[in-house]
């Protein structure tokens, strides 16, 4: 076996619906044109990888305990084990996503690009579930399904309304006249070192009292007696509603409404979920004063990373690191030759 291949998997920006996926709620992300490309050949159980933005190469034989491999190589080792084919590869990895900790799902893109090669393409929802399990094994953090579904199921020019309970995915075109910007806050964070897991625990503890959050309304949330739990869950239940409202605003091309939902989502993420940071708040305060920028929100798992902004086409956020986001014509794919 020495098939040569190129695989690509994009990062994502989440427009609304944070910390809703692992309780089977709604999310509204968009795949990015930024992503990870792997070029190489399949092997019989030996993995060798070089990355354009990492100083260390990786090399190991399968089977392998992913925990015995350091840093980014652990995601590759976990993907190789979860693919379950015994296949390895010899690859060059090229990424135009910034290396980890940006809230743009770099590790999902890495995992998905590896699985497309090591497992092979197929049912994308099943592949996304495999990618999630692989990432959880690599990091020990029980993330949800949003990032892998966004990377593998992206649709040109559209955000994805994803129901993380039944895995239905409905593409909703980005309205004409709305430009989506992604801005790096400058604050890197790894999800494993953040308060992601404690937020997740609060959501599941609340479910023990009021039932599935994906079905809960705000009246049920108000019956919770623990004030911290109540705030956390107020955010999650509110974001489930905001996903539907944002998708409807996109369908109606109502940009002012979409922008107001983005702002409301950020306030809830910062005040109820307490997932923001002083650096992010300062950046958002700056962004919303820039000409043409309607609204901005912390995106992804929280505690740093990136900000998503809604803007008029051609707007300049006047910050160091930013991208114009548009879901690419060709999303995740693999080509053998
Ligand atoms: C990270 C996780 C996702 C999701 C978001 C928060 O990106 O990987 O599963 O929980 O945080 O919305």
* Ligand 1 and 305: CB distance under 6 A: no
Q: Is there a single domain that holds both residue 146 and residue 120?
A: yes
Residues 162 and 233 in one domain: no
Cβ atoms within 10 Å, residue 138:
25
pLDDT at 149: 98
Residue 327: the pLDDT is 82
Q: What is the pLDDT of residues 33-43, one digit of tens each?
A: 999 999 999 99
Query: Residue holding tokens 């900790």?
Result: 101
Is any atom of ligand 1 closer than 6 Å to the C-beta of 239?
Answer: no
Is 164 found in the same domain as 16?
yes
Q: Are residues 95 and 217 in the same domain?
A: no
What are the residue ranges of helices labelled H in the chain? 73-83, 106-118, 124-139, 146-153, 196-210, 218-222, 227-251, 255-267, 278-287
Judge if 137 and 191 occupy the same domain.
no
Position 2 scores a pLDDT of 58
Residues 332 and 152: beta-carbon distance below 8 Å: yes
Residue 147 annotated among the catalytic residues of the structure: yes
Residues 82 and 218 reside in one and the same domain: no
Q: Is the pLDDT of residue 215 over 80?
A: yes
CB of 88 closer than 6 A to ligand 1? no
CA–centroid distance, 283 to ligand 1, in Å, is 21
Beta bridge partners of 70: none
What distance lies between CA 221 and its chain's CA centroid? 26
The Cα–Cα gap between 76 and 6 comes to 16
Residues 6+ apart with CB under 8 A from 247: 28, 159, 161, 170, 172
**Tell me: the pLDDT tens digits for 138-186?**
999 999 999 999 999 999 999 999 999 999 999 999 999 999 999 999 8
Q: For position 330, what pLDDT does the model report?
A: 87
In the predicted structure, residue 290 carries a pLDDT above the cut 70 = yes
32 and 155 share one domain: yes
Quick one: 154 and 236 in the same domain?
Answer: no
Percent of the chain with pLDDT over 90: 93
Q: Are 128 and 73 in contact (CB under 8 A)?
A: no
Give the atom of ligand 1 at the shortest distance from the alpha carbon of 145.
Answer: 9
| Cβ count within 10 A of residue 337 | 6
Residue closest by Cα to atom 12 of ligand 1: 18
Ligand 1 centroid – CA 40 distance (Å): 30
Q: What is the pLDDT of residue 111?
A: 98
Does residue 190 carry a pLDDT above 90? no
Cα of 23 from ligand 1 centre, angstroms: 11
CATH number at residue 112: 3.30.230.10
Residue 1 has pLDDT above 70, yes or no: no
Predicted confidence at residue 171, as pLDDT, reads: 97
| pLDDT average, residue stretch 30-56 | 96
C-beta separation of 12 from 335 below 8 A: no
Task: Report residue 193's pLDDT band, with 50, 70 and 90 as the boundaries.
Answer: confident
Tokens 């099943």 locate to: 126
Q: Please write the tens of the pLDDT for every residue from 91-137.
A: 999 999 987 678 999 999 999 999 999 999 999 999 999 999 999 99
pTM more than 0.85: yes
Domain carrying residue 238: 174-325
Catalytic residue chosen out of the listed positions 21, 123, 147, 208: 147
Q: What is the pLDDT of residue 98?
A: 82
Is the Cβ atom of 100 under 6 angstroms away from ligand 1? no
DSSP state of 98: P
Does 32 share its domain with 111?
A: yes
Q: Whose CA is nearest to atom 10 of ligand 1?
A: 19
Mean pLDDT lowest for which of 34-43, 280-289, 319-328?
319-328
Average pLDDT of the chain, as a whole number:
96
Residues 156 and 14 in one domain: yes
- Per the structure, the count of domains in the chain is 2
Domain at 186, CATH number: 3.30.70.890
Question: 165 with 178, same domain?
Answer: no
- 290 and 180 in a common domain: yes
């Amino acid at each position: 076996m020495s098939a040569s291949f190129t695989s690509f998997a994009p990062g994502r920006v989440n427009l609304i619906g944070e910390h809703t996926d692992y309780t089977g709620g709604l999310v509204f992300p968009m795949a990015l044109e930024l992503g990870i490309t792997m070029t190489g050949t399949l092997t019989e159980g030996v993995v060798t990888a070089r990355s354009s933005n990492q100083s260390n190469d990786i090399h190991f034989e399968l089977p392998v305990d992913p925990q015995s491999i350091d840093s980014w190589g652990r995601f590759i080792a976990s993907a190789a084990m979860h693919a379950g084919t015994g296949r390895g590869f010899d690859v060059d990895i090229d990424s135009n996503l910034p290396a980890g900790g940006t809230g743009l799902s770099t590790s999902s893109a890495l995992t998905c690009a590896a699985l497309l090669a090591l497992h092979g393409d197929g049912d994308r929802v099943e592949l996304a579930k495999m990618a999630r399990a692989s990432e959880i094994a690599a990091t020990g953090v029980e993330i949800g399904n949003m990032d892998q579904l966004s990377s593998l199921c992206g649709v040109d020019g559209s955000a994805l309304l994803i129901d993380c309970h039944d895995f239905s995915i409905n593409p909703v075109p980005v309205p004409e006249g709305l430009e989506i910007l992604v801005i790096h806050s400058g604050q890197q964070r790894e999800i494993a070192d953040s308060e992601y897991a404690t937020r997740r625990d609060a959501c599941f503890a609340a479910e023990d009292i009021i039932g599935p959050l994906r079905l809960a309304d705000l009246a049920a949330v108000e019956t919770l007696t623990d004030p911290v739990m109540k705030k956390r869950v107020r955010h999650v239940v509110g974001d489930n509603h905001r996903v539907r409202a944002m998708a409807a605003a996109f369908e109606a091309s109502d940009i002012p409404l979409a922008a107001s939902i983005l702002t409301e989502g950020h306030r809830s993420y910062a005040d109820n979920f307490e997932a923001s940071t002083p650096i992010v708040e300062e950046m958002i305060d700056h962004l919303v004063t820039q000409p043409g920028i309607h609204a901005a929100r912390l995106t992804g798992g929280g505690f740093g990373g990136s900000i998503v902004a809604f803007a008029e086409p051609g707007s300049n956020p006047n910050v160091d690191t930013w991208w114009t986001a548009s879901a690419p014509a060709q999303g995740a794919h693999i080509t053998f030759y």
